[in-house]
Structure 1
Amino acid sequence: MLRIMGKFSVNVLKSSSLCNKYMCFRKTKMRVVSVTQQNCSLRNYSSPPGDVKSLHSVINPHISRIRNIGIMAHIDAGKTTTTERMLYYSGYIRTLGDVDDGDTVTDFMAQERERGITIQSAAVTFDWKDYRINLIDTPGHVDFTVEVERCLRVLDGAVAVFDASAGVEAQTLTVWRQADKHQIPRICFLNKMDKNRASFTYAVESIKEKLKTKPLLLQLPIGEAKTFRGLVDVVTKEQIIWKPTSDLDDGKNFERKPLVETDDPNLFQEVQDARNTLIEQVADLDDEFAELVLGEHSENFDLVSADKLQSAIRRITLAQKAVPVLCGSALKNKGVQPLLDAITLYLPAPNERSYEFLQWYKDDLCALAFKVLHDKCRGPLVFVRVYSGSLKPQSAVYNINKSCTERMSRLLLPFADQQIEIPSLMPGNIALTVGLKQSATGDTIVSSKASAVAAARRAGRDAGEKKRSLSGVDSLLLAGVEIPEPVFFCTIEPPSMARQQDLDNALSCLQREDPSLKVKPDPDTGQTILCGMGELHIEIIHDRIKREYGIETYLGPLQIAYRETILNAAQATDILDKTVGDKRHFVTAELEVRPRSGEGATTKPIISYAESVSEVLPKELQGAIENGITNSCIQGPLLGFPVQDIDVTVQSLTVHPDTSHTMVSACVSRCIQKALKKAGIQILEPLMNLEITVSEDHLSAALADLAQRRGNIQEIQSRQDNRVVVAAVPLAEMMGYSTVLRSLTSGSATFTLELASYQALSSQEQSALLQRRMGSV
């Protein structure tokens, strides 16, 4: 892989210099390296912020000055553009990147720049007013939800970006729920205030109604759509006005001055009312602030200082009782600097977040591997977040999940696809590691096996003292990433058998980077099966194999990942009697399968044992039995799809003393297959939540098309001048839907798809599917 150095313009103190690959400052070296082939000469990069302060503070600032945040939103809400403006105003880039021009820093993959969407989360580190911000720009497309999920694991706060003309959209709801699950404090940024039909009031109401949260209006826009020219800080009652847009205007120069009544009486009164409302909201949510207001300033809210109000808003935000709301237009370079200020003011530092597991580790190293990239020259590059202790290059670390020790060779500070080599990493920071060849997404990294044992001992002791089960020991493992099941699959073949090994290696690397990508062999044909989260997901993987690994692969037809379940309860018996060498392997098994009752689909069978079996069953055989049952449910008896929603009871089991565990698993697996066939198989198809945003003129055409796709219309909402159709549609009916919708609406409509559940096919549809799969149709 080519390494093309980015051009760094360095304006430093006299004691610093830049010599080819090394930046030297106060006798410390920082090395700039590249992980992807890219023509960096298209962009001008500023130097890392060591030109104005000590390199030690650059590498490891005080933990109270660190902000680990993510940018999250619906696709096309302006996440990447907002990130680019943050980098520009912080001094990390010297020219503004644009998604449409394909020269953004965080969208560094070729496919991202061509398509104008974010596919992989890019971690960027920069400074803003003595604060270190580790920022992650996440995808907005539903096919890449796993990228969002794994990054939320390591964030302390988040910025939710909204299109002010659209309000809360489908993917916004998804990522908001993910952030709720991880209890991440958030602030909202109403972007695109310059856009036609932009409405501050509509967007705020949308946040209140759809996200079920309390918005705190910290800013009001001055104008909307074409008249948007600035904003008013409600907390300080200052107006912030940017220069009129021109080719030379980059948004760096703006005027901030107190708002006085003579400037604009109507705006002044609006801001006055908004501030009074804000103070009342904050007083209702924060007891300390309520005492201040009721005691000292009950007669005149104007006397409430901005500092006191900001402190109270910060406490409320950290407690997730409400969310601050700001506004602006990243594309027009308005409102981003106040947003950066809000990030440092209202979002938490790492030491302001409580993590139960830290009490077991004390000052020992505890880190989470949350993302893996693969570099052809250096192998796996693992993103880690350090929670306690410290990381240093050339040190050995212990992976609790893999139960193995690895040696980390280097530490890199991420700057999109540029990295700076650093000598250490302290708590609260995020960095890339080189040399961890076994670690994968979601793995917990500690200093040594002894450290893990000591932490387990502390956790176990505390669990005993609190009369809890020893499941407390499980808290030693940081939560991994929940990977949803793929809904599409297809075959993938190399141009010749000579390239099969190369393809296998490429897919192995891509799987480490993307846990939602599944690869498995077809047991009948031996072909490689590629399973993904959507059409775009598989298309991107196919393109990456060609671009990054030079393999021209062929994809088979895209197919739906159905499921199988049973209709009735059934019992079966199987006997295995086999002699291998001088040992006789003899097993008799009787099992019962039943349809699962209750809500919530589960792919793994729930296994229980009859009382007569559980009393005499050796523990070492239990694993073999459960492996046999689980493996037999991977491929159902009808079409080979995974079997879900079943309960299995082991009614009886007889095992000869010389029988191996493998033979026990084989007998149990055959017995399950017999029982499944007796029970009768029902095919389940994925049902998708569909949301279409369409103009009134094209609404009837979109609805008529949905009716032909077995779509169930659930709701039709109004969104400004558009209509939003919410429906449930079988995934099988949505193949190639983007092309059809584009044709029906002259390219004006947009849609999102998200897996809702699996539903049973009718007998007619199941028969038709069987005929197609058997080649009769």
Structure 2
Amino acid sequence: MHTLNLGILAHVDAGKTSLTERLLHAAGVVDEIGSVDAGSTQTDSLALERQRGITIKSAVVSFVIDDVTVNLIDTPGHPDFIAEVERVLSVLDSAVLVVSAVEGVQAQTRLLMRTLQRLRIPTIVFVNKIDRRGADHEGVLRSISGKLTPSAVALGSVGGQGTRGAFQTPFTATDTGFTTRLVDLLAEHNDAFLAAYVDDEAAVSYRGLRGELAAQTKQGLVHPVFFGSAITGAGVESLIAGVRELLPAAEGDAEGPVSGTVFKVERGPAGEKTAFVRMFSGTVRTRERLRFGQGQEGKVTAISVFDRGSAVRAASVSAGQIGKLRGLGEVRIGDWIGVSPDKSTRHHFAPPTLETVVVPCRPADKGALHLALAQFAEQDPLINLRQDDIRQDVFVSLYGEVQKEVIQATLADDFGLDVTFRETTTICVERPVGSGAAFEIIDKDPNPFLATVGLRVDPAPAGAGVEFRLEVELGSMPFSFFKAVEDTVSQTLGQGLHGWQVTDCVVTMTHCGYWPRQSHSHAVFDKSMSSTTADFRNLTPLVLMSALRQAGTLVHEPMHRFRLDVPADGLGAILPVLARLRAAPRTQEMRGSSCLLEGDIPAARMHELDQRLPSLTRGEGVLECAFDHYEPVRGPVPVRPRTDYDPLNRKEYLLKVVRRTGGRREGV
């Protein structure tokens, strides 16, 4: 039995959840097809999903096609939940991209297709809703070829379009127009195939054509297109046959080293964690101790695998499969279990660019709110929970305003907490502009701590993140002290000279020293004459921020790459608005009666552009955007209030640290 991990992706309302229901029904998994409108689907389990008719969290169900077990992963379509989609992409073997025959290719459709192509995930396209009034399968096919991929090929024709009786008829060997188009497309990607066809056209059989189509689809070179209706079931059998014929099953050595990734985490009624894991290599068994994340370890207490619609208990989960693992108490989304792959093979998610403060309606709920949000962050680590201990504020990161509704509903339904939000703001970052170094020596003024720490900060290329290095011997002091410095460096860089997270730098430890454990004559340990990890944790922020101040930082704001399709006669109205919003068009292309603009715009201005677009373009403008990069802020530098003890103010920092630890060192 083979396994195929298949993602269903689409712009919101294209019908992917309905398609999931239809596939489960066609495979005999469910007797009755669930309805999105009625809130009775298999995959939309959250109350808010059922209320709004949208998918928020990914869900896994399964069915069998011949000898292949298909793990079907339903993903969100709303752009605010793109992080959830990207997590799923990292575990897929193949994908079905759903496009509405009425609305056609939309902004999120383009973004998804570009991501699928970048990751080389084999993809077929299903044009849904051919039974709806206004359906235009030929226009949508042209749009797919023009806006998504020129390597699209329809595998059938449509009859009765726009009526309840709409149907798809698969092309066969007798459809010469189809075979000609197929030969032309396949020849573009395979010179050997082209040569064989030119030498002897008759030697290339229709079976050979289908075989080459399957081979190129599995390589992500071509994208077959099917037509149908998830509601009536038209074309779904052809789609199922296409999935079996054209998409590759999972690969992996079940006997190899254990390696997998956690793409979803749930908590049960008793608070126990369940990790959804895609296995790439090896086999995990119950009662087995498993390494995951950053050196954590846990014992697997239970395993479930997906079989014919639901998860069933199993003794093990192997390469290619998706399993639900219990017992890994500290596991988080994004953790690798077992052997971690090379950094080059990991997927990196676009960062959230917005932030808001979550405010409890009842002040007494502040403690419970932080605990609830901490659990929420386990299921969505990109919300980047951040607490201001001074002002007692709790911040979360966002991709869009709809996420506020999800957080609000989840806190109310799962934790009984009513909350509101403050104004959404943009998240900036800081990057060092030069190099800086500082050190403080043990038992020498003005250092009040029993530790020697020296650090150098150097800039790194954009996108490099933060790297910690040593220029001292690892054995020169206990490892726990080095670990305390490294962890504190990471934590301290969460707030730079202007309060924003510092990134794209190398921090090198240049000096180290400590006093060994000492005791009085009566053998009682005396921390006033012995170094502890607290000394290194307390001193490191002072040294690091001194080095960072010497290096200097530049605040960068997030920039989105936008693609704007507007009527040509509306160009004169849109360009001045783009200029006022500090958008920088890079390319401009006329396409008949429309104009395509591509460029960059500050993330902080995207919402205003989206709001103004309908009135500027008579409702005909189409905007798509996604985070692209950071650029230095122009004009006044934004400052974010600090939420720590502020190591930039040495006197205040030392007073607060001493008060917090309840102790005192000489020189404080």
Partner of 2:54: 117
Q: Please tell me whether the aligned partners of residues 154 and 224 of structure 2 are also in contact (alpha carbons under 8 angstroms).
A: yes
Q: Give the conservation status (yes or no) of the 8 Å contact 1:217–1:278.
A: no
Verify: 1:375 aligned to 2:234, yes or no.
Answer: no
CA–CA distance in structure 2, aligned partners of residues 105 and 342 of structure 1: 23
AA aligned to 1:112 is E
2:466 alignment counterpart:
604
Pair 1:106 & 2:106 matched: no
Residue 636 (structure 1) aligned with residue 496 (structure 2): yes
Counterparts of 1:271-350 in structure 2, within 5 Å, are 271-282=175-186, 298-299=201-202, 304-305=205-206, 307-331=207-231, 333-350=233-250
Specify the SS of the correspondent of 2:382.
coil
Corresponding position of 2:664 = none
What is the match of residue 451 of structure 1? none
- The 5 A counterparts of 1:186-585 are 186-193=123-130, 203-204=140-141, 207=144, 214-222=151-159, 229-237=166-174, 271-282=175-186, 298-299=201-202, 304-305=205-206, 307-331=207-231, 333-350=233-250, 353=251, 355=252, 358=253, 362=255, 367-377=260-270, 379-387=272-280, 395-401=287-293, 402-409=295-302, 411=304, 413=306, 428-445=320-337, 474-475=340-341, 482-496=348-362, 498-575=364-441, 577=443, 585=450
Distance 1:587 1:397, change over 3 A: closer
- Tell me how far apart the structure 2 counterparts of residues 496 and 384 of structure 1 sit (CA, whole Å): 38
Asked whether 1:135 is paired with 2:111, we answer no
- Alignment-mate amino acid for residue 601 of structure 1: G
Residue equivalent to 2:121: 184
Aligned counterpart, 1:754? 626
Deviation of the 1:80 alpha carbon? 2.1
Cα deviation, residue 290, structure 1 = 6.9
Matching of residues 704-723 of structure 1 within 5 Å: 704-715=576-587
Rounded Cα–Cα distance in structure 2 between residues aligned with 1:204 and 1:80? 22
Corresponding residue for 2:541?
Answer: 669
CA contact 2:129–2:135 (8 Å) conserved in 1 = yes
Residue 491 of structure 1 aligns with an amino acid whose one-letter code is V
Structure 1: distance between partners of 2:642 and 2:375: 32
The structure-2 alpha-carbon separation of the partners of 1:684 and 1:400, relative to structure 1 and needing over 3 Å to count, comes to closer
Identity of aligned residues (%): 27
Match of 1:260 in 2: none
Query: Do 1:160 and 1:188's aligned partners in 2 also have CA atoms closer than 8 Å?
Result: yes
Give the Å deviation of 1:525: 1.7
Contact 2:151 2:185 survives alignment (8 Å): no
1:71 corresponds to 2:17: no
Q: Is the 8 A contact 2:297 2:328 kept in 1?
A: no
8 Å contact kept, 1:587–1:659: no
How far has the Cα of 1:604 moved from its partner?
A: 1.7
Secondary structure of the structure 2 residue equivalent to 1:437: coil
Q: Structure 1 residues 737, 537: closer, same or farther in 2, change over 3 A?
A: farther
Q: Give the letter for the 2:504 counterpart.
A: D
| Residues 709 and 608 of structure 1, relative CA distance in 2, 3 Å threshold | farther
Contact in 1 for aligned 2:584/2:600 (Cα 8 Å):
yes
**Higher mean C-alpha deviation, range 168-177 or range 155-164:** 168-177
Asked if structure 1 preserves the Cα contact closer than 8 Å seen for 2:452 and 2:511, the reply is no
Instruction: Say which SS state the counterpart of residue 670 (structure 1) adopts.
Output: helix
Secondary structure of the corresponding residue to residue 585 of structure 1: coil
| 1:144 alignment partner, SS class | helix
Question: What is the CA distance between 1:520 and its match in structure 2?
Answer: 2.1
The answer to whether residue 452 in structure 2 is matched with residue 587 in structure 1 is yes
How far apart are the structure 1 equivalents of 2:335 and 2:41? 30
Corresponding letter in the other structure for 1:546: A
Name the SS for the 2:378 alignment partner: helix
Shift of 1:424: 6.1
Deviates most, 200-209 or 78-87: 200-209
Matched position secondary structure for 1:516: helix
Task: Report Cα offsets for 1:565-616 as digits up to 9, x if no partner.
Answer: 344544545456489xxx9725363x554544x5x2344257574xxx6799
Scaled by the length of structure 1, the TM-score of the pair is 0.69
CA drift of 1:345 comes to 1.0
Shift of 1:675: 3.3
Q: 2: CA distance between counterparts of 1:419 and 1:481?
A: 27
* Contact residue 408 and residue 433 of structure 1 kept, 8 A: yes
State how far apart, in whole Å, the 2-side matches of 1:415 and 1:141 are: 28
Q: Which residue is equivalent to 2:526? A: none
Counterpart residue type for residue 41 of structure 2: T
1:734 equivalent to 2:634? Answer no
CA separation in 1, counterparts of 2:26 and 2:324?
A: 25
Q: Deviations over 1:427-467 (max 9, x none)?
A: 54334344443333344556xxxxxxxxxxxxxxxxxxxxx
Matched residue of 1:542: which SS? helix
